[in-house]
Structure 1
Amino acid sequence: MKRRPIYRLILIFTLILVQILFSQNLEKILILHWNDFHSQNIPMRSICGDSTCYIGGIANLLGLINKFRNEEKNVLVLNAGDDFQGTPISSLTKGRSQIELMNLINPDAMTLGNHEFDYGRDALEENLKIAKFEVISANLWDKRKGKLFVKPYIVKKLGKAKIGVIGLITPELFKLSLKENLKDLELLNTERVLKQYINELKNKEKVDLIIALTHIGVNEDSILATKFPEIKIIIGGHSHTVLQEPKIVNNVIICQAGSRGEYLGYLEVSIDLDGDSVYSYKGKLIRVINGIVKPDETALKKVEELEKMVDKEFGQVIGKLEVDWKRNFYGESNLGNWEADVMREFAKN
């Protein structure tokens, strides 16, 4: 008989707790992300457990993204840059192949990486004309046009939540790219533009959550988190970091998904709409293994079409080897000598 008051107190406390939880104005969203794809459009051979497997590839990546798009209501798809450069097709088409393939994925936003400028700003501008998705970067100024090279941010409504996503390119862009590829471009001060657009997103756009979509590397993302706690989530690239779980700095959630499409980043977030904050989250990386989902058929056909271009271009016989080529990491080799001779002849030295 004496225990009844305790049970009543526990029951009352439980009911109050349930009421508080259900009275909160929450909205769940799912963020899918990848970075530093480097035109790895076809799967790569790898090791899965004790056996050989194939990972990545644009068709497998899109198949996995579409699986979640079909299963979940509020899905935000983000690409953190460096989709260009890495395989022959990107160089043959000067990046156009990657824009055509990303049109099939149709991310909500992509930020620019330094390798997007490997074929020059003019080639990139031509490619972006056919892009059916948003490309953002808040800290890259076009002196030729007197405005930002691309738009600084997007605002996306997902369910009841209004999300602002700001793009950032690496401040080391001019150290990483050829000067002639960056004609009439200028980097703006990262902290200054962030203050400007955070203020604009909060006071003008009235967003519930601010995400930074960056191509600056995980260490710089961590510094950014200490200075701008108004940014609740950072989806990053550039350093090719495999963050199997999100890194938390100053209560900011930092994510990055390795490189070359080996992983798809998965971040499930509950947003407190009244407090404009993250109420809870769950993040991981999903390895994109051939066969875990049905690959996207349209992407498969497009990749096959593009690879035929590579075969045609690189299928020409330009010489015949009379002896095997061998390489030596610690001294001279016939392959190393040949490469050095070719570079010297090209440089006319």
Structure 2
Amino acid sequence: MKEKVHIYHTNDLHSHFENWPKIQSFLAERKSFHEAAGEDVFIFDCGDFMDRWHPFTEGSMGKGNTKLLNESQYNAVTIGNNEGITLPFEDLDSLYKEANFEVIVANLYLPEYKRPEWVRPYIIYETIHGHKIGVTAVTTYYQKLYKLLGWELSEPFTELEMQLNRMKDEVDMIIVLSHLGIHDDEKMVELFPQIDLILGAHTHHFFHEGKKIHNTMMAAAGKYGRFVGYVEVELMSEPTIIQPTLFETAFLPSKTDEESFERELETIGKRQLAKKVAHLHNTLEFSWNGPSTLANLLCEALHEWCNPDCTLINTGLVLTSLRKGNVTKYDIHQMLPHPINPCTVELTGAELKEVLLHAEDGDWVDLEVIGLGFRGSVMGAFIHYGVEVEKNNRQVLIKGTPIEPEKTYTLATTDMFTFGRFFPEIRRSEVKNYFMPEFLRDIMEWKLKRLND
């Protein structure tokens, strides 16, 4: 018997709650409408629903986001890198403790490749008329970073093949929730033609009417809740129609005032982060155009934490001053909202010199930076600690001694420079050590407490 199934999907909300009231109202209305017609409705999220830049998420370590998903009656979600590698082990392990939905991640494991109790590798849903829909999910293969936090991550396509083989004889349709990004999704289509529908994420791409490659349909809904994805499916012994579309959130009605909703979440987060961490006798100012008290203090803190030969950071990381008086976790969070970890890289003297001289270029200050964990606006100037750079005569001194081209040095910086293409020497380094789960704001808090002691 032919039947119609309705699938709604979101991805990469990144705790941008400005659109959430409209999304929530829309999903509730559509779910009620379809169920009244006797038709199945499924609601999925494809990861990065949470992002610790927002105080509501930071204050609850993501559990507030889980509550929002509960309220909107999601069937299942997968995790993105913002759930997977920005939370300490204990916080991810308890993130979905109160969830009323399933969490599907085929390639996430505990040590010794034991599957967490809260994770399902796949789910088979049975529709009203007895058709079976298999849903599996995979997340981005940041194996080294997951391992540093205490998790094991298997290679996504290897894992996917196993789950597809388990489902293939039992289902009429196969859906993959993918937090791999558009290029890996396209590769997935070629490797696994048995997949009927991929709901994509991670690279913030979107398709207004889907993208069909061979017999597989791809759908994705951009970022920040700008769109809600919808896929209409007609099922018999296999899907006869798979038609994606997007609803632009700006044109959807809302039963809740968006500004009031945002203010409420901000207030909740601020209250949860109200713990005093230090007391300042003077205001600490910041600037993106050059060195400042706060940026210098952050650079010094990073140097002390990582114990390298020298340290390099960009001033655009610091987004607010710290006012005289008591400093709370909320204050530090507003100053450094980025989910960015400290790291060290090993470079030859020649490579390190090239990086440091390149960092002296004035073009960095107004360069807009998007992604890589950065939640600010512009790169700002570069500042360093433990090293002297004389740009005019191209001299670099470490501990007063000219840098040796063949010697190996350790540079402390932020993880964004190991992922991005700003400094090829850093990106290519074969020895990178990430300090996790601490973010830059944790290092600043540690430094301020030491100054108060």
1:226 corresponds to: 190
Q: Is the 1:120–1:180 contact (alpha carbons within 8 Å) kept by the matching residues of 2? A: no
Deviation, structure 1 residue 263: 0.8
Note if 1:193 corresponds to 2:168: no
> Which secondary structure state, in structure 2, belongs to the residue aligned with residue 84 of structure 1?
coil
Aligned residue identity for 2:5: I
Report the aligned-residue RMSD.
Answer: 2.9
* Alignment partners' CA distance in 2, 1:71 and 1:78: 18
Q: Is the 1:114–1:169 contact (alpha carbons within 8 Å) kept by the matching residues of 2? A: yes
1:337 corresponds to: 292
2:134 corresponds to: 164
Q: Give % identity.
A: 26
Distance 1:263 1:82, change over 3 A: same
Q: Which whole-Å deviations, capped at 9, do the CAs of 1:175-231 have from their partners, x for residues lacking one?
A: 5x47532x0x2222333322222222122xx21101001100011111101111111
Q: Is the 2:111–2:152 contact (alpha carbons within 8 Å) kept by the matching residues of 1? A: yes
Match of 1:93 among 42, 57, 60: 60
1:244-259 correspondence to structure 2 within 5 Å: 244-259=208-223
Q: Is the 1:235–1:255 contact (alpha carbons within 8 Å) kept by the matching residues of 2? A: yes
Q: Which whole-Å deviations, capped at 9, do the CAs of 1:147-170 have from their partners, x for residues lacking one?
A: 356110112122322111001111
Q: Which whole-Å deviations, capped at 9, do the CAs of 1:73-98 have from their partners, x for residues lacking one?
A: 22111100011213122122211111
Distance 1:99 1:301, change over 3 A: farther
> Which secondary structure state, in structure 1, belongs to the residue aligned with residue 267 of structure 2?
helix
* Alignment partners' CA distance in 2, 1:123 and 1:144: 20
1:1-349 correspondence to structure 2 within 5 Å: 25-41=1-17, 43=18, 56=19, 58-72=20-34, 73-85=39-51, 86-117=53-84, 118-143=86-111, 146-147=114-115, 150-160=119-129, 161-171=131-141, 173-174=142-143, 177=145, 179-181=147-149, 183=150, 185-203=151-169, 206-271=170-235, 273-274=236-237, 276=238, 278-289=239-250, 292-295=252-255, 305-312=264-271, 313=273, 327=288, 332-333=289-290, 337-347=292-302, 348=304
Q: Is the 1:61–1:295 contact (alpha carbons within 8 Å) kept by the matching residues of 2? A: no
Aligned residue identity for 1:279: T
> Which secondary structure state, in structure 2, belongs to the residue aligned with residue 69 of structure 1?
helix
Deviation, structure 1 residue 109: 0.9
Distance 1:170 1:260, change over 3 A: same
* Alignment partners' CA distance in 1, 2:124 and 2:263: 35
**Alignment coverage as a number of residue pairs:** 293
* Alignment partners' CA distance in 2, 1:168 and 1:178: 14
Deviation, structure 1 residue 320: 7.9
Q: Which whole-Å deviations, capped at 9, do the CAs of 1:4-58 have from their partners, x for residues lacking one?
A: xxxxxxxxxxxxxxxxxxxxx42211111010111112x1xxxxxxxxxxxx1x2
* Alignment partners' CA distance in 2, 1:174 and 1:208: 32
Q: Is the 1:33–1:264 contact (alpha carbons within 8 Å) kept by the matching residues of 2? A: yes
Distance 1:193 1:237, change over 3 A: same
Comparing 119-128 and 148-157, the one that deviates more: 148-157
1:50 corresponds to: none
Distance 1:270 1:263, change over 3 A: same
> Which secondary structure state, in structure 2, belongs to the residue aligned with residue 151 of structure 1?
coil
Specify every segment of 5 or more residues in structure 2 that has no aligned partner in the other structure, as ranges. 305-384, 386-453
What TM-score does the superposition give when structure 2 sets the normalisation length?
0.59
Aligned residue identity for 1:70: S
What TM-score does the superposition give when structure 1 sets the normalisation length?
0.75
Q: Is the 1:37–1:259 contact (alpha carbons within 8 Å) kept by the matching residues of 2? A: yes
Deviation, structure 1 residue 133: 0.7
Deviation, structure 1 residue 306: 3.4
Distance 1:116 1:159, change over 3 A: same
